[in-house]
Amino acid sequence: MITNTPQVPSSASVSKLMLHVGYALVPGTLAYVWLFGVGVLVQILLACVTAIITEGLILALRKRPVAQTLSDGSALLTAVLLALAISPIAPWWIIVLGTAFAILFGKQIYGGIGYNPFNPAMLGYVMLLISFPLEMTNWPAAFSLLEQTPTLQTSLDVIFNSGLGVDTVSGATPFDAIRTQLAQGLDIPATLISSDYGELFGALAGVGWEVVSIGFLLGGVYLLLTGRIAWQIPTAMLGTIAILASVFYLIDSTQYISPLLHLFGGASMLGAFFIATDPVSAATTPRGRIYYGIGIGVLTFVIRTWGGYPEGLAFAVLLMNMAAPTIDHYTRPTVFGQGKG
């Protein structure tokens, strides 16, 4: 079995792929740390340690090669993505619980990398969001942090001592604010200039959020240009969100969020380039990936606009994960010689 063709040296490897995805996360993450505090790094660290311990433990229980499997980097990537998705001031047990859940129930229970039908990070995120809505929606406001950057000590206090004695301005995300205000009958232009929330919004979208989004966009473009992710999913997803948002914004700009805010105010960029493109749980045919991206775009927009949660991306990804096998089945490419010659 082992001595057969092709016998051509190849440098492709899963760990290399994961490593480059990790590199691509750097600009967005740095911006995130700069604008939202060093707490982000604490969360990432907590997530990584939890992921390694959980995955290592399960692998040992399943009698699988621990070191080799851990070195593929996929568990770490899941951990980092989940850490980036939760609030930097969430208590420590949130990220520990979420990461352990993601690794255990999102991945290992199905047989480990390659066999998970759902994106593990998003599964962990949704579990946390449903179980602990308060902790999950309490975000620091970037503008206040700009004035008074929290030290490592304050961040640790917030995360490990539930913020006792720490005076951090915390509040809602831009989407949250608009949703709350709309529910109270205040339209969007009014919210953007209101005394309570006006400071949340910047030139493009939300203060801080827009810079972080641009960081993730840069990383995503790097992955696209180096051919490490397929172009179809992010293009279709962002395109769909942009088109839908524009149409509704043009219909009624007082009730619908602007396309720019949609693209740069939430998790769109992180989701489009780093979460929806997780190959294991995504559609795998070229045409299928377009439908998959469109599906995530539509669902994200629908949930953000009319759903019960301010950010619908995680739900959209999980729902499309379920649809991926069916999409693949119906989008098989025409095999050479079977089409019209």
Beta carbon nearer to other proteins, 129 or 280: 280
Q: Which of 162, 286, 322, 326 binds other proteins (CB under 8 A)?
A: 286
Beta carbon nearer to other proteins, 111 or 133: 111
Min dist. Cβ of residue 259 to other proteins (A): 29
326 touches other proteins (CB under 8 A)? no
DSSP 210-249: HHHHHHHHHHHHHHHHTTSS-SHHHHHHHHHHHHHHHHHH
Amino acid at 310: P
Stretch that binds other proteins, among 8-16, 127-135, 208-216, 294-302 (CB under 8 A): 8-16
Q: Are 298 and 247 in contact (CB under 8 A)?
A: no
133 touches other proteins (CB under 8 A)? no
Burial pattern 292-317, b for ≥16 Cβ within 10 A else e, equals bbbbbbbbbbebbbebebbbbbbbbb
**Distance (Å, rounded) from C-alpha 15 to C-alpha 41?**
22
Q: Are 266 and 174 in contact (CB under 8 A)?
A: yes
Stretch that binds other proteins, among 25-33, 37-45, 188-196, 276-284 (CB under 8 A): 276-284
Min dist. Cβ of residue 117 to other proteins (A): 11
Count of residues that bind other proteins according to CB under 8 A? 41
Min dist. Cβ of residue 4 to other proteins (A): 6
Stretch that binds other proteins, among 4-12, 42-50, 209-217, 259-267 (CB under 8 A): 4-12
Q: Which of residues 89-128 bind other proteins (CB under 8 A)?
A: 111-115
Q: Which of 165, 185, 308, 341 binds other proteins (CB under 8 A)?
A: 341
What token pair was written down for 31? 């911006």
Beta carbon nearer to other proteins, 182 or 230: 230
Min dist. Cβ of residue 1 to other proteins (A): 6
Q: Are 257 and 311 in contact (CB under 8 A)?
A: no
Dihedral sign, CA of 128, 132, 133, 138? negative
Beta carbon nearer to other proteins, 3 or 195: 3
Place of tokens 């040296």: 9
Min dist. Cβ of residue 300 to other proteins (A): 22
195 touches other proteins (CB under 8 A)? no
10 touches other proteins (CB under 8 A)? yes
DSSP state, residue 194 = -
x-or-dash pattern for other proteins, window 218-247, by CB under 8 A?
Answer: ------------x-----------------
Stretch that binds other proteins, among 82-90, 96-104, 200-208, 330-338 (CB under 8 A): 330-338
**Distance (Å, rounded) from C-alpha 49 to C-alpha 123?**
19
Helix (H, G, I), strand (E, B) or coil at 170: strand
Q: Are 111 and 182 in contact (CB under 8 A)?
A: no
Greatest distance between any 2 Cα atoms in the chain = 74
Q: Which of 24, 25, 59, 282 binds other proteins (CB under 8 A)?
A: 282
What token pair was written down for 308? 């019960």
Q: Are 276 and 234 in contact (CB under 8 A)?
A: yes
**Distance (Å, rounded) from C-alpha 127 to C-alpha 142?**
26
For other proteins, the binding residues (CB under 8 A) are 1-10, 12-14, 16-17, 68, 72, 74, 111-115, 230, 279-280, 282, 284-286, 289, 328, 332-339, 341
